[in-house]
């Protein structure tokens, strides 16, 4: 019976992790260039049960579940027009490169601004890099030539921090930068809400199993032991 508690508890923990992932997608449903995640689950393994007296097979017993991996959908999303001169979207494959205090990272979020020195930066002040790796200087009119912004291929991308992507640069990408556009978020609010409801129901089912087993153990401790 204790094994049943562990199995049900593992299901609850897996759903809690899945809910965190879904909640993050929902929170970034309007974030330009955001890439959505999907979590998959797998069983810990199976026990083959058999009758100890006859050796006859009874069946299999699962040992619980865990989140196997979280995968990111890197598919480019459609661009939406903003008409803001410092908004840039990549039509096709590739990533913007930004230099941070922790090194070079990549992003599809082209919602940029200018530093007091006229250097193109992200909203949090990270420097946007050109094709040659140098900072990009705006013209006297405060505008930036889209062709000056570098678009890079990234090998082994993985999400880190505030909508940033870590990975290894793999040369220039084929995507084209367009001014006055931003890439839409890859998170689908409707799909995320359906997934969240399904996850809550799975969590509640495991919770009911834990409650039922707990009540059964209480009865075993208080009633069975007192029988004459």
Indicate the pLDDT class of residue 6, thresholds 50, 70 and 90. Answer: confident
> What is the pLDDT at residue 152?
96
Residue extents of the structural domains in the chain: 2-74+187-226, 79-183
Range 171-183 average pLDDT: 94
Helix (H, G, I), strand (E, B) or coil at 126: coil
Question: By the 8 A CB rule, do 142 and 123 touch?
Answer: no
Cα–Cα distance, 154 to 129 (Å, whole number): 14
Least confident of 66-80, 115-129, 137-151, 193-207: 66-80
pLDDT in tens, 25-37: 999 999 999 999 9
User: CA triplet 135, 138, 139: central angle to 5 degrees?
Assistant: 140
For the entire predicted model, the pTM comes to 0.78
**Taking 70 as the threshold, does the pLDDT of residue 94 lie above it?**
yes
Q: Which tops the pLDDT comparison, 74 or 218? A: 74
Indicate the pLDDT class of residue 43, thresholds 50, 70 and 90. Answer: low
Cα–Cα distance, 97 to 35 (Å, whole number): 16
Q: Which tops the pLDDT comparison, 225 or 113? A: 113
**Taking 80 as the threshold, does the pLDDT of residue 192 lie above it?**
yes
User: CA triplet 57, 58, 61: central angle to 5 degrees?
Assistant: 115
């Amino acid at each position: 019976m204790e094994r049943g508690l562990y199995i049900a508890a593992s299901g609850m923990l897996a759903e809690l992790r899945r809910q965190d992932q879904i909640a993050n997608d929902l929170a970034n449903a309007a974030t330009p260039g955001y890439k959505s995640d999907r979590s998959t689950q797998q069983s810990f393994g199976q026990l083959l049960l058999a009758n100890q007296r006859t050796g006859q097979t009874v069946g299999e017993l699962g040992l619980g579940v865990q989140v196997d991996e979280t995968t990111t959908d890197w598919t480019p999303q459609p661009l939406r027009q903003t008409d803001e001169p410092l908004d840039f979207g990549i039509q096709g494959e590739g990533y913007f490169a930004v230099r941070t205090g922790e090194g070079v990272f990549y992003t599809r979020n082209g919602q940029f601004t200018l530093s007091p020195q006229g250097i193109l930066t992200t909203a949090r002040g990270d420097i946007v890099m050109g094709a040659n790796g140098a900072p990009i200087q705006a013209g006297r009119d405060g505008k930036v030539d889209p062709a000056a912004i570098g678009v890079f291929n990234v090998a082994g991308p993985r999400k880190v921090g505030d909508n940033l992507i870590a990975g290894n640069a793999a040369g220039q990408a084929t995507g084209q930068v367009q001014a006055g556009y931003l890439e839409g978020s890859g998170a689908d609010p409707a799909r995320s809400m359906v997934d969240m409801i399904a996850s809550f129901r799975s969590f509640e089912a495991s919770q009911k199993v834990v409650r039922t087993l707990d009540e059964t153990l209480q009865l075993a401790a208080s009633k069975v032991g007192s029988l004459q």
